[in-house]
Structure 1
Amino acid sequence: MSLIVQKFGGTSVADAEKIRTAARRAIRAHQAGNQVVMVVSAMGKNTDILVDLANQVCAGGAEPAAREMDMLLSTGEQVSVALMAMAIHDLGAKAVSLTGGQIGIRTDSSHTKARIRSISTERMKKLLDDGNIVIACGFQGIDDDWNITTLGRGGSDTSAVALAAVLGADQCEIYTDVDGVFTTDPRLVAEARKMDRVSHDEMLELASLGAGVMHSRSIEFGKKFNVPIHVKNSAVFTDEPGTVIGPDSESVDRPVSGAALTKDEARITVRNVPDQPGTSFGIFSSLAAKNVAVDMIVQNVGAGGTADISFTVPEGDLKRAVAAVESAVAELGGGDVSHDSNVAKVSIVGLGMATQSGVADRMFRALAEESINITAITTSDIKVSVLVERPRMTDALRAVHREFELDRPPHERSTFGEPVANSPVRVHSAVDVVDRLQQMEELTIHGIELDPSQARVALTNVTDTPGIAAEVFEAVAREGVLVDMIVQSVGEEGHTNLSFTVPQDDLAKATTTVTELIDRVGGEVNSTNKIAILTVTGVGIRSHTGVGTRMFQALNAAGINVEMISTSEVRVNVVVDAEKGDAGLAALKQAFADVLES
Structure 2
Amino acid sequence: MSLIVQKFGGTSVADVEKIRAAARKAIRAQQQGHRVVMVVSAMGKNTDVLLKLASDVSPNPPAREMDMLVSTGEQVSVALVAMAIDALGSKAVSLTGGQIGMKTDDSFSKARIQSISTERIERLLDEGNIVVAAGFQGIDDDLNITTLGRGGSDTTAVALASVLGADACEIYTDVDGVYTTDPRLLPEARRVDVISYDEMLELASLGSGVMHNRSIEFAKKFNVPIHVRSSFSDMQGTMIVTETESQTASVCGAAMTPNEARVTVLGVPDVPGKSLQIFSAIAAQKIAVDMVVQDIGLQGRADISFTVREEDLQTTLKTLKEVLPEVGAHAVTYDDQVSKVSVVGGNMAKQTNVASTMFRALADANVNIQMITTSEIKISTLVPRSQADAALRAVHHAFTLHEKPEDAKSWDQIRSERGNRADVDALISRLQADVLEALTLTGISLTKSQARVTLHGVPDKPGIAADIFETIGEAGVFVDMIVQGYDGEDGSTSISFTIHQDAIERSLEVTHQVCKKHGMRDFQSGTDISKITVSGIGLRSHTQVGTILFKQLADLGINIEMIGTSELQVNAVVATEKVEAATERLKKAFAASLESAAG
TM score, norm. by length of structure 1: 0.96
RMSD of the TM alignment (CA)? 1.5
Using the TM superposition, name which of 183-192 and 324-333 deviates more: 324-333
Asked if 1:409 corresponds to 2:404, the answer is yes
- 1:375-429 CA-to-partner distances (Å, cap 9, x unmatched) read 1100001100011111111111000000000000110111233435745475234
Aligned to 2:45: 45
- State the shift of 1:56 in Å: 2.4
SS at match of 1:595: helix
Kept after mapping to 2: 8 A contact 1:270/1:335: yes
Aligned to 1:70: 67
Distance in 2 between residues matched to 1:124 and 1:432, nearest whole Å? 18
Aligned to 1:202: 199
SS at match of 1:158: helix
Distance in 1 between residues matched to 2:357 and 2:578, nearest whole Å? 35
Distance in 2 between residues matched to 1:331 and 1:589, nearest whole Å? 29
Kept after mapping to 2: 8 A contact 1:273/1:335: yes
Aligned to 1:54: 54
Kept after mapping to 2: 8 A contact 1:252/1:352: yes
- 1:135-169 CA-to-partner distances (Å, cap 9, x unmatched) read 11111112222222221222110010001111111
Describe how 1:25-424 pairs up with structure 2 within 5 A: 25-58=25-58, 61=59, 63-236=60-233, 238=234, 240-420=235-415, 422-424=419-421
Gap change, CA 1:54 and 1:128, over 3 Å in 2: same
Amino acid at match of 1:246: V
Aligned equivalent of 2:450, options 443, 451, 454: 454
Distance in 2 between residues matched to 1:230 and 1:83, nearest whole Å? 24
**Among the aligned pairs, what percent are the same residue?**
58
- State the shift of 1:371 in Å: 1.6
SS at match of 1:174: strand
Distance in 1 between residues matched to 2:241 and 2:368, nearest whole Å? 35
Amino acid at match of 1:20: R
Aligned to 2:20: 20
Kept after mapping to 1: 8 A contact 2:165/2:428: no
Distance in 1 between residues matched to 2:145 and 2:313, nearest whole Å? 31
Aligned to 2:572: 574
Asked if 1:494 corresponds to 2:482, the answer is no
Gap change, CA 1:162 and 1:334, over 3 Å in 2: closer
Asked if 1:543 corresponds to 2:538, the answer is no
- Structure 2 unaligned regions, length at least 5: none
TM score, norm. by length of structure 2: 0.96
Distance in 1 between residues matched to 2:569 and 2:312, nearest whole Å? 23
Asked if 1:518 corresponds to 2:515, the answer is yes
- State the shift of 1:533 in Å: 0.7
Displaced runs of 4 or more, over 6 A:
none
Amino acid at match of 2:302: A
Amino acid at match of 1:241: Q
Gap change, CA 1:418 and 1:159, over 3 Å in 2: farther
Aligned equivalent of 1:477, options 470, 473, 480: 473
SS at match of 1:178: coil
SS at match of 2:305: strand
Gap change, CA 1:116 and 1:291, over 3 Å in 2: closer
Using the TM superposition, name which of 573-582 and 378-387 deviates more: 573-582
Amino acid at match of 1:92: G
Kept after mapping to 2: 8 A contact 1:168/1:425: no
Kept after mapping to 1: 8 A contact 2:266/2:329: no
Distance in 1 between residues matched to 2:495 and 2:420, nearest whole Å? 43
Amino acid at match of 2:449: S
- State the shift of 1:336 in Å: 2.6
Gap change, CA 1:231 and 1:430, over 3 Å in 2: closer
Aligned equivalent of 1:593, options 576, 591, 594: 591
Asked if 1:7 corresponds to 2:7, the answer is yes
- 1:48-98 CA-to-partner distances (Å, cap 9, x unmatched) read 12222222232xx3x222222222222211111111111111111111111
Kept after mapping to 2: 8 A contact 1:246/1:420: no
- State the shift of 1:335 in Å: 1.9
Kept after mapping to 2: 8 A contact 1:227/1:425: no
Distance in 1 between residues matched to 2:436 and 2:159, nearest whole Å? 8
Kept after mapping to 1: 8 A contact 2:441/2:593: yes
- State the shift of 1:334 in Å: 3.2
Kept after mapping to 2: 8 A contact 1:104/1:121: yes
SS at match of 2:276: helix
Kept after mapping to 2: 8 A contact 1:170/1:425: no
- 1:187-210 CA-to-partner distances (Å, cap 9, x unmatched) read 111211111111100000000001
- State the shift of 1:512 in Å: 1.1
Distance in 2 between residues matched to 1:285 and 1:170, nearest whole Å? 40
Gap change, CA 1:97 and 1:166, over 3 Å in 2: same
- 1:549-596 CA-to-partner distances (Å, cap 9, x unmatched) read 221122112211111111111111111111131122123222212212
Distance in 2 between residues matched to 1:232 and 1:272, nearest whole Å? 50
Kept after mapping to 1: 8 A contact 2:265/2:329: no
Distance in 2 between residues matched to 1:407 and 1:481, nearest whole Å? 30
Aligned to 1:534: 532
Kept after mapping to 1: 8 A contact 2:170/2:226: yes
Amino acid at match of 1:555: L
- State the shift of 1:464 in Å: 2.1
Using the TM superposition, name which of 456-465 and 476-485 deviates more: 456-465
- 1:102-154 CA-to-partner distances (Å, cap 9, x unmatched) read 11111122222211111111111121122111111111112222222221222
Amino acid at match of 1:130: E
Distance in 2 between residues matched to 1:262 and 1:13, nearest whole Å? 27
Gap change, CA 1:420 and 1:20, over 3 Å in 2: farther
Kept after mapping to 2: 8 A contact 1:452/1:581: no
Gap change, CA 1:26 and 1:420, over 3 Å in 2: farther
- State the shift of 1:534 in Å: 0.8
SS at match of 1:526: strand
Kept after mapping to 1: 8 A contact 2:194/2:410: no
Distance in 2 between residues matched to 1:133 and 1:332, nearest whole Å? 57
Amino acid at match of 2:508: T
Distance in 1 between residues matched to 2:491 and 2:138, nearest whole Å? 52
